[in-house]
Structures are given as structure tokens and as C-alpha cells.
Amino acid sequence: MNGDVVVLGGGVSGLTTAMLLAERGHRVRVWTREAPSATTSAVAGALWWPYRIEPKQLVAQWAMATLERCRQWSRRPEETGVRLRPGVVADTRLDELESWTREAGAVRHARVDELPSGHTQGVWARLPLVDMPTHLGWLRGRLERAGGAVELRAVRSLEEAVAAAPVVVNCTGIGARELTGDRELTPVRGQVVLVENPGIEEWLVLPDDGSGQPTYVFPQPGRLVLGGTADDGNAGTEPDPATTAEIVARCARYYPAIADARILGTRVGLRPARTAGVRIEAVPWPGGGLVVHNYGHGGAGITVGWGCALAAVGLIPEVSARA
């Protein structure tokens, strides 16, 4: 063993970071206010695609590292929850994308017959689509097999965590706003609807058309995930029935069978958007100890999760030396 670490947050960032630390010989405890299955990560669609995240140069590095890892995980989809699935991002041109996105592999101009009705351009891609409940369970399993543990514990201050371990990694998402006093963090409320799948096999994304509400359809095992909303500054976590009906109606414009699909549930999560972009930073603690921050991933936690976890772990000297 190489020392005690407390990781704050049980979403995809926290579990991935904790897993890496545990597999490299640390005694790791994850403190999380809610079970991983109840975090914002569990609500995600979750398509590998850069969405509401900065800074672009670093995002490219983190996202491509994550994409490579997701492709490996996709060889065991039932275990990892990661599948490579085809789909279309409508109203988007290939030359409008960041160069690294265009170089992500199977990305090209969409043919007319691949586009939703009423749309004349778009990008077709074959990208990782992650069943988040399965993926989070798999990450937790790897962590626990490496000797780590997940503890349901709401942390009230960083001081409390530093008193328990010499190294603390802060992956609390929107919770970091209060925990660190970071006012650059803003909640972006996202609501999704889960329905029975009437036979849809490819994902569809229609970016925000100016209404502030993106539309997407993600086929996951046993269900469709329909979205969505992007309500800046809204920290409400209760599903809104009117929003549920509006999301279903929006998605049914492109797949009419969705209108009659049985609703299985609704979910709400708060994306942690940060004005200055993702914060990955090591801060020495007065009197000893080290706090490493890894938060502010906006709507792209699954897109950069592995890359950001590697970057955060690399800021812990004894871990970096052994990596």
C-alpha cells in the first residue's frame, strides 16, 4: 500500500479516479453523499461527445484518451456498459467540429437518407454510448476488487476530509461550489425521460436550436433515454411533468412511435458547468496534506472522465512516480 486517499464524489469522475489510485496501490475510500446509482452521472445519456466543456485544448487531450479506453471497454459491453453505436448529430457540419473530433475515427458527413425529416445536413458517427448504471457498477466493482471502498458520507468541509487522509481528491461536481466556494460553477439542469424502445437502434442528437433545449434519443439496453433540457442556473432536482411531456413530443417528431411508448421513469441531474473550464489542480493544505481538484466537467463527464482522472492522479507525486 502507498498511503491513504479519500476521494470525494461517487460519480464517474470520482469512481474512475479512485479506481486508478486503488489499482496503483493506494488505500482508497470514496466518500459520497449518495450512492453512485443516484448521482448526476447515472442520469447521463451518455454519448461520447464534447458538450459544454472548456478549455478546448485540454479537452481534446482528455477526450481522446477517454475515447481510446472506451473502445477497449466496448469489447465487453455487458460488463462495462460501453457500446460503439452509430448515430447522427443533425444541423452540424463536419468542418464546424474541432479537428480532434473529426479525427475521432468513424465520423463523416451524413447522407440525406440518414438525417431526420426536415434536416439537410449533419454528421454521422460511430461513437461510444454508455449505459451509465452498468458502467458505474463496473467501476465500483473494479475499485472494490483493488481494495477500495465506497462510503455513504456527506462531507461538510475539505478540512474534514484532510483530517482523515493525507491526500484528498475532490470530484464533487456541482457540490464543489459550496465545498470550495467556487462561484465559477453553475448548475445546468438536465431532465431525461426513460421509455420502452419501440425498435430504435441508432442515436440522434439535435443541438440547441436557440430554444436552450437540445433534443436527443439514445438507445440503451431495455430502454430509450430521451432528452433533454439545459437550464442554466436551475438547481431543481424534481422532475417536471410538463417538461416530460414536452421532451416526449419533441422526440416523437422524429420517431413517431415514441409517442405511444410506455414511460419507464424520469430523471434529473445537474451538470457542473464552470466558466473557467475544468479544474484539475493540486493545492497543498496548510499544515500538511494535499487536495487535488477534478471537477467542472459540464455536460461531458463521460467524454473526458478517463483522461481527467489520469491528469488528476498525475498530480499526486508518489502516484505519478509509480505510474
CA distance 21 to 292: 13
- pLDDT for 45: 84
Task: Say yes or no to pLDDT of 320 above 50.
Answer: no
Task: Say yes or no to pLDDT of 323 above 80.
Answer: no
Task: Say yes or no to pLDDT of 2 above 70.
Answer: no
Task: Say yes or no to pLDDT of 21 above 80.
Answer: yes
Grid cell 460501453 is found at 82
**Average pLDDT for 60-81:** 95
- pLDDT for 223: 96
Task: Say yes or no to pLDDT of 180 above 60.
Answer: yes
CA distance 152 to 302: 22
Percentage of residues in the chain having pLDDT higher than 90: 81
**Average pLDDT for 153-157:** 93
**Average pLDDT for 192-211:** 89
**Average pLDDT for 86-105:** 83
pLDDT tens sequence across 225-266: 999 999 999 999 999 999 999 999 999 999 999 999 999 999
State which fold the 4-322 domain adopts. Rossmann fold (3.40.50)
CA distance 78 to 222: 12
Position 13 confidence tier, pLDDT thresholds 50, 70, 90: very high
Helix axis angle for 12-23 and 132-145, nearest 10°, is 30
Annotated domain spans of the chain: 4-322
- Strand 223-227 with 231-232, pairing: unpaired
Contacts of 52 by beta carbon, 8 Å cutoff, 6+ apart: 188, 230, 271, 273, 298, 299, 300
- pLDDT for 102: 67
Position 288 confidence tier, pLDDT thresholds 50, 70, 90: confident
3-state SS class at 22: helix
3-state SS class at 13: helix
Position 41 confidence tier, pLDDT thresholds 50, 70, 90: very high
- pLDDT for 211: 66
- pLDDT for 98: 77
**Average pLDDT for 137-161:** 96
Work out the mean pLDDT of the chain and round it to a whole number: 92
Task: Say yes or no to pLDDT of 198 above 80.
Answer: yes
CA distance 139 to 36: 10
Position 99 confidence tier, pLDDT thresholds 50, 70, 90: confident
Position 66 confidence tier, pLDDT thresholds 50, 70, 90: very high
- pLDDT for 94: 86
Task: Say yes or no to pLDDT of 131 above 60.
Answer: yes
Task: Say yes or no to pLDDT of 62 above 60.
Answer: yes
- pLDDT for 97: 81
